[in-house]
Amino acid sequence: MLALRMRLDQLIYSQGFGTRRHCAALIGAGLVAVGATVRTDPAVEIAALSGVTEFTVEGQTWRFHERAYLLLHKPGGYECSRRPSAWPSVYNLLPTPLRQRPAGGKALGVQALGRLDQDTTGLLLLSDDGHFIHRLNSPRRHVPKVYRVTTRHRLDPAQIERLLQGVVLDDDPRPVRAAAASMVGERHLQLTLTEGKYHQVKRMVAAVGNRVEALHRSRIGALDLPADLLPGEWRWLTAGQLALLK
């Protein structure tokens, strides 16, 4: 991996620490250090290596990432929207620099790859890489997503078979099929989908005569939600995890 040579004010701006003018002012005030060295010249060039180069802004230590690739364990009670209507935004779980990362000249921050309902928990990916977002969201890619479903009523083999054979939803005459479905308990189902229709899991389960009581996404593609990542916590994707998705 090659290091990027960047002006220091551009570097910290790219990481979401404010406007270019604000970043230059922070540097001039002696509030930015690269490694252990305080820098006061905004124009000084820094060799920045993604995931490696560490700097400090007003006492906050941060690591440079050319692109943001994140995973978050979404808890219940959060909306995947920057303008939530009734519940807190899932973006509030991220530190301010990630919410302010510039994209296309605007401070847009990272974006969620596929929304989860406010009552749905589990694996949520976020990024500021538009190509990466499009590739994983595209229905042509058929990226599998695995859900653990708790149902209101007891499941039976006929319901599982109907999910596998396909059910018709009210907005599409074509049957929608589960890529995989299996009972893991009387009221617990593991369901794999490769499409991303609105409220798809809940609507498919309703179509076979049951109802979703709780929904948790445990896997996207070959990436599992880490067992040690607690609800509300986030982390950068490692190179190995990113390779599983790419």
Distance CA 73, CA 174 (A): 33
Q: Are 98 and 110 in contact (CB under 8 A)?
A: yes
Q: Are 116 and 133 in contact (CB under 8 A)?
A: no
Torsion of CA 7, 9, 10, 11, to 10 degrees: 80
Q: Are 26 and 19 in contact (CB under 8 A)?
A: no
Distance CA 168, CA 94 (A): 38
DSSP secondary structure letters along 110-123: -EESS---TT-EEE
Tokens representing 3 are 């290091």
Catalytic residue among 9, 41, 117, 170: 117
Catalytic site includes residue 128: no
DSSP run (H or E) holding 138:
none
Q: CA separation (Å) from 192 to 165, 170, 182, 216?
A: 13, 21, 9, 12
Which amino acids are annotated catalytic?
Answer: 117
